[in-house]
Amino acid sequence: MDKQKTILAVGSIALDTLETPHGTRQNILGGSATYFSISAGLLAPVKLVGVVGNDYPEEGWQLFQSRNINTDNILVENGSTFRWGGKYSDDYSTRDTLFTELGVFENFSPTIQEADRLSPLVFLGNIHPDLQSSVAKLTPSAEYIVTDTMNLWIDLFPEKLKEVLKLSTILLINHEEAEQYTGQSEISNAASELLSAGPEIVVIKKGADGACLAQGESRHSVPVFPINQVIDPTGAGDSFAGGFMGYLSQASQPDFLEAVIVGSAMASFCVEGFGVESLLQATPTLLAHRVETIKNSMVEKV
């Protein structure tokens, strides 16, 4: 295996309140950066950029420490940690945001230590596009800038998102968001439009229907790993991104189809339990097994 490259990741570090058909949880560890760092951290060294309030629980710090996730670029400010509440429909097909309390995120200005600005891989997790742009500008020598976003930002700041896309090498986005941003319901057309906005590669995620990798004119589909039961899909997209970038960190000449397969396998752990609990059960060996299962199912289809 090649020497692993460090991933610098910015995103939300949150306390989530979740309502699902399988039960509810209040103020559990969440946020795009949290899911991402646990999953990417299974395969690569990760440094987080973010902000929490002085109410952030010790449990969160211990989690990062136990996973060797570097927290030197996380600011602790007086005030409340970002809080988000979400409620899933009975069949998990839709999710409503119940509340978004920005807390210390409201005045967040990312700072990155000089040496960390040279990180070869940068993940711009789901946060305000202005913050994503400012991190991208602080890391101009990155080999890959991988970006994620959500419906809220597409709704509120499409122009700002356009700037982020110009700075991104790879965009990871789900099907509904891709349609919302481009107006194209057909995946291949949505991908073409997103590719013309800046990124060299676009991955459109389709939930239980897998993901589509688009690069130039080529399009490839990757199925999901078949799990027994979805408990809580929160953070699946960030876990996908963590697997995808964890793979990139280990590959000198990346095969992006393989990156999507690793992302898909990683996301399958996330949805099996509430919050990060089942993601924490993943190991490189279990992940490798799920990667193989997905690959075999792709061969069978040919």
- Footprint of ligand AMP (CB under 6 A): 12, 14, 16, 30-32, 84, 100, 126-127, 150, 152, 234-238
In angstroms, give the least distance from the CB of 235 to ligand AMP. 5
Smallest gap from Cβ 124 to ligand AMP, in A, equals 11
Q: Which is nearer to ligand AMP, 199 or 207 (CB)?
A: 207
Q: Is 31 helix (H, G, I), strand (E, B) or coil?
A: coil
* Distance between CA atoms of residues 91 and 69, nearest Å: 34
Query: Distance between CA 247 and CA 254 in Å, rounded?
Result: 8
Q: Which two tokens stand for residue 90?
A: 């009975």
Nearer to ligand AMP by C-beta: 72 or 106? 106
Answer yes or no: are the C-beta atoms of 145 and 169 closer than 8 Å: yes
Least distance in angstroms from the C-beta of 189 to ligand AMP: 24
Q: Which is nearer to ligand AMP, 32 or 268 (CB)?
A: 32
Q: At what angle do helices 32-40 and 58-66 cross, to 10 degrees?
A: 30
CA distance 249 to 263: 13
Residues contacting residue 264 through CB under 8 Å, at least 6 positions apart: 210, 211, 222, 223, 224, 225, 240, 243, 294
95 CB-side CA count, 13 A: 19
In the bound state with ligand AMP, the residue whose beta carbon lies nearer, of 5 and 124, is 124
Asked if residues 149 and 163 have their Cβ atoms less than 8 Å apart, the reply is no
Q: How far is the CB of 29 from ligand AMP (least distance, A)?
A: 9
Shortest separation between residue 48's beta carbon and ligand AMP, angstroms: 14
Task: Judge contact between 148 and 32, C-beta under 8 A.
Answer: yes
User: What is d(CA 79, CA 56) in angstroms, rounded to the nearest whole number?
Assistant: 10
Residue 5 or 170 with smaller CB distance to ligand AMP: 170
CB of 1 to ligand AMP, least distance (A): 28
Of 156 and 288, which CB lies nearer to ligand AMP in the complex structure? 156
**What's the closest the beta carbon of residue 263 comes to ligand AMP, in angstroms?**
12
Considering beta carbons, is residue 75 or 298 the nearer one to ligand AMP?
A: 75
